[in-house]
Structures are given as C-alpha cells and as structure tokens.
Amino acid sequence: MVIIMASHATKEDVDAIVTLVGTAGGDAFVSRGVSRTIIGLVGDVAQFSSLNLRGMAGVADVMRVSTPYKLVSRENHPQRSTVRVGGVPIGPDTVTLIAGPCAVETPQQTLEAAEMAKAAGATLLRGGAYKPRTSPYAFQGLGEDGLRILADVRTATGLPIVTEVVDAHDVELVASYADMLQVGTRNAQNFALLQAVGSVGKPVMLKRGMNATIEEWLMAAEYIAQRGNLDIVLCERGIRTFETATRNTLDVSAVPVAQRLSHLPVIVDPSHSGGRRDLVLPLTRAAIGVGADGIIVDVHPHPEQALCDGPQALVDGDLVELARVMRQFPPLLGRTAAVAPEPLATI
C-alpha cells in the first residue's frame, strides 16, 4: 500500500501514520519529495484494513499496489495451472470441449445428449440437475434424481460430469455425484456457497457473475482457493450490457485479461453468452482466437422440446461442425485440441 500525503501535510502528520502502522504490526517507509511525501507500507493488506488511513490528517490518497487476491493471482504463481477433471485436463496446453444438455430432463434425453457430445469428441459432460431459473415458475431441475441420471450416463459413456450446485447445503450431495462442481453466474458472489465448494475437494468451475468485474470474479475465486481448493476453472459466459440482440455480451477481452492476472484456466460458454444457436460457432471461434482453454456448450437431441434454453442448444450437425473447428483451429495457435478424433467414416 502507498499513502500519498497532501502538499500541506506536516511532519507530525507523517509521524502519526508511521506510528499507527507500527502499532498494526507493519512497516512504513517514508520518502520525502520536493512537494510531497509518500509513505510505503509493507505487510499484509489485511493488517491495515481496520486502520482509517484515509481519515488521518494530511492524507491525500491511499493506493493499493498488490492485487486483492493472492492465491489465484499469477503474480505469486507465474506458471499457468492445469486442472484435471476425472483425468481430463483443462489448462494452457489444450482446448477442452465440454458439452451436454442445459438441464437433465429424462434419462433418455440425457443419454442421447451425452452420446451426441461423445460422438462429436467432447471429453466432459455438462448437465444441470439444479437449475437457477430467473422465473420461479420455470423448470427448476430434477434435483437428486437428476444427479442419479447423470451418474448412470457417466457409467454408460465414460464422460466425467460437470454439474451446478446452487445451495451451500447441497454441496456435499452434489459433490458425491459430480466430477466438477459448477457455480453459476447468479451465485458467482454467493460467498457461503463459494466457501462450501472450496471445502469439498472437487474441482470447481466458477462462472463470471453477469455484473461482475474481472477483479470481482477473481476475488470470488479467491474465496474458493482460501478453503484449500486451487482446482478452479474460470468461465466467461457473457455480461450484462445495453445490447438486447443477444442474451448477454461475450466479453472476449476477459479471457486474456483473466489469464494475465490469474494462473487459473479460463474457458468460455458461447451458449449462455449469445443465447442463440446461430451464434455458438462464431463465438467459439472468437473464444479460441483469444486463447480460451476450453469451450462449454449446450446440446439437446430435440431443442424444440427442451425445458430450458432450447433456442441456444446445438443439435447433432452443429456440434459436429463445432468440434471440427475445435480440432483445426487450436493447432494454428500452437495448442492441442483436446477433442477426441473424428471417427472414421464407415463405408
């Protein structure tokens, strides 16, 4: 932290700050310039947070120089991390494809969607059993029955499961089925939930809050990390802007910015960003182009019958095309596509 003193500050003002910082267990280094004095504080920011430094006589400004997040910061961990989900890597060397239904509706629908995902080359299955819906009248998910369906589909396909948890009380239950826990945009700053998912020993995918700055997103990740869990994947899923043509606005700059500030992998959800099937492929190209470490998409065998987010769900042919882009594009950027090879056509 740096304190900039006003030009009229007196020696007594400066001494009072040095003494106050000392009593809080920190060190203060005074640097006297021609017109102003600057005081550099050394110690943990938390030590100084209860001091009313701004209110001290002669203080013009107080600036933080280190990041407010430590464990997820790249400053303290320059090497970018790889998170493994049921053995599948998500990290800087690969571009992983996660696909599946927005919501688990029936065993048949989930299995069909998972088979579509697997056939296209996805290596992880997504699917919501607990759906955080904007309307209380909309389908809320099957709960534990949905988790059981996902577990059966994992057995049938071998795809590890990514699924959302919306309530801190359900974390242990969801973690007993899931390979990765998802925290959605509406819960991205639900600190009790973040602490609970940080304590349960499963990898976590943390979506960006639709109104959250990148710094707020990283501080949310810090809540998970602080509980001892560094297996966190950040997911950019679009933010709220004035634009209404799309469901959300995909913030492509957030990918390289977050990767520069944090060592955690960053993936993109082009389905929830655009909210429209026709935008999923172009947004996927954009995401890979800016360096996303993975893509998570909604697929459905019959989107017109979907109980949740049908308009953005990919159908078979779209998904095959998307997987093809995911095989061809990353190698041009020096990365490996972690998409299973296209099956050989049978004659």
Q: How far is CA 331 from CA 29, 260, 339, in A?
A: 50, 21, 12
Which residue lies nearer to ligand PEP by CB, 3 or 268? 268
| Contact assessment for residue 186 and residue 215, using Cβ atoms and an 8 Å cutoff | no
Among 105, 170, 251, 309, binds Mn ion (CB under 5 A): 309
Taking CB under 5 A as the rule, does residue 267 contact Mn ion?
no
- Measured CA to CA, the distance from residue 146 to residue 100 in angstroms comes to 13
Give the nearest distance from C-beta 132 to ligand PEP in angstroms: 6
Give the nearest distance from C-beta 222 to ligand PEP in angstroms: 19
Give the nearest distance from C-beta 251 to ligand PEP in angstroms: 13
Taking CB under 5 A as the rule, does residue 170 contact Mn ion?
no
Q: Is 99 exposed, middle or buried (0-12, 13-18, 19+ CB in 10 A)?
A: buried
Binding-site partner at residue 58 among Mn ion, ligand PEP, none, CB < 5 to 8 Å by type = none
| Contact assessment for residue 286 and residue 246, using Cβ atoms and an 8 Å cutoff | no
Binding-site partner at residue 303 among Mn ion, ligand PEP, none, CB < 5 to 8 Å by type = none
- Measured CA to CA, the distance from residue 186 to residue 221 in angstroms comes to 15
Q: State the first-to-last Cα distance of the chain, in angstroms, to the nearest integer.
A: 68
Binding-site partner at residue 207 among ligand PEP, Mn ion, none, CB < 5 to 8 Å by type = ligand PEP
Among 21, 41, 102, 117, binds Mn ion (CB under 5 A): 102
CB-closest chain residue to ligand PEP: 184
Q: How far is CA 113 from CA 53, 101, 214, in A?
A: 57, 6, 32
Which residue lies nearer to ligand PEP by CB, 71 or 103? 103
Taking CB under 6 A as the rule, does residue 128 contact ligand PEP?
yes
| Contact assessment for residue 126 and residue 99, using Cβ atoms and an 8 Å cutoff | yes
- Measured CA to CA, the distance from residue 212 to residue 188 in angstroms comes to 8
Binding mask 155-174 for ligand PEP (x = CB under 6 A): ---------x----------
- Measured CA to CA, the distance from residue 269 to residue 283 in angstroms comes to 9
Structure-token match 């239950």, residue found: 173
- Measured CA to CA, the distance from residue 301 to residue 291 in angstroms comes to 30
Convert 282-300 to b/e letters by CB count within 10 Å (16 or more is b): ebbebbbebbbbbbbbbbb
Among 74, 207, 263, 277, binds ligand PEP (CB under 6 A): 207
Which residue lies nearer to ligand PEP by CB, 102 or 122? 102
- Measured CA to CA, the distance from residue 82 to residue 240 in angstroms comes to 29
Among 58, 184, 203, 209, binds ligand PEP (CB under 6 A): 184
Among 154, 237, 263, 327, binds ligand PEP (CB under 6 A): 237
Which residue lies nearer to Mn ion by CB, 186 or 227? 186
Among 185, 190, 262, 284, binds ligand PEP (CB under 6 A): 185
The contact set with Mn ion (CB under 5 A) reads 102, 309
Per CB under 6 A, residues contacting ligand PEP are 102, 128, 132, 164, 184-185, 207, 237, 269, 272
